[in-house]
Amino acid sequence: MPEYTIIYFNVRGRCEAMRLLMTDQGAQWKEEVVTFDDWQKGDLKRAAVYGQLPAFKDGDFTMYQSNAILRHLARNHDLYGKNPREATLIDMVNDGVEDFRLKYLKMIYQNYENGKDDYIKTLPTELGHFERLLASNNEGKGFVVGDQISFADYNLVDLLHNHLVLAPDCLSGFPLLCAYVKRISSRPKLEAYLSSDAHKKRPINGNGKQ
């Protein structure tokens, strides 16, 4: 069994997709929680390749960049499609999720009070991209690419969970996405994790906004 460790602040943030992936794949991991005070001291920041967290350990191999970590886990657990074409499509979806996540994080951390309402108004455009992607694969009845789960599914579902907290009705005009989130979230190990304190008590973002 791989020895996985997440080194991160006490938030779901950029690590919840990897937690969903590891949970669903039956992998165990440890959490090394970095407090704001420890981070402020600067040693950990100086040691981080890009001066930021998360870091992730697979045994004695330490890596940075949340999407590289997701891809590493995808290679370990066969979550990167069945052939090169599927792998490229999965990358394409994941890059789209990253673009969407960056917009979300910008609003949360830089413009929550003044920008939240306008952000929510733009959501149908963002969500429409993913609704159409789903529709183009098996009529939206399965996964976002191919016929098996991939790391992009965990990343997309995590970001949709955050949006359902921000704007609970945001998926009402998107029947495929709505059913997809419910379907993935009700996979037995995920359902148990999502209702656990480990998930529910961990804040979504570091500034308390959600």
Q: Does 13 bind ligand GSH (CB under 6 A)?
A: yes
The least distance separating ligand GSH from the CB of residue 205, rounded to whole angstroms, comes to 9
Q: Select the residue whose beta carbon is closest to ligand GSH and give its number.
A: 52
**Nearest residue (CB) to ligand GSH, 46 versus 125:** 46
Rounded to the nearest whole angstrom, what is the least distance from the CB of residue 51 to ligand GSH in the complex? 6
If the CB atoms of residues 44 and 87 are measured against ligand GSH, the closer one turns out to be 44
Residue 54 or 146 having the CB closest to ligand GSH:
54
> Are residues 151 and 90 in contact, defined by beta-carbon separation less than 8 angstroms?
yes
CB of 174 to ligand GSH, least distance (A): 26
Q: Which is nearer to ligand GSH, 34 or 135 (CB)?
A: 34
Sequence-ordered list of residues with C-beta below 8 angstroms from that of 49, at least 6 positions apart, any chain? 64, 65
How far apart are CB 34 and ligand GSH at their closest, in Å? Answer: 9
Q: Residue 151 Cβ, how far from ligand GSH at the closest point, in Å?
A: 13
Number of residues that bind ligand GSH (CB under 6 A): 9
What's the Cα-to-Cα distance from 126 to each of 95, 133, 151, 168, rounded to whole Å?
Answer: 13, 12, 20, 16
The residues in 16-35 that bind ligand GSH, with binding defined as CB under 6 A, are none
Using CB under 6 A as the binding rule, the residues of this chain from 47 to 106 that contact ligand GSH are 52-54, 65-67
CB-nearer residue toward ligand GSH: 55 or 177 = 55
Cα separation, 53 vs 87, in Å, equals 26
CB of 15 to ligand GSH, least distance (A): 8
Is the bond leading into 168 cis (omega within 30 degrees of zero)?
no
Is the CB of 105 or the CB of 178 nearer to ligand GSH? 105
Interface residues toward ligand GSH, by CB under 6 A: 13-14, 45, 52-54, 65-67
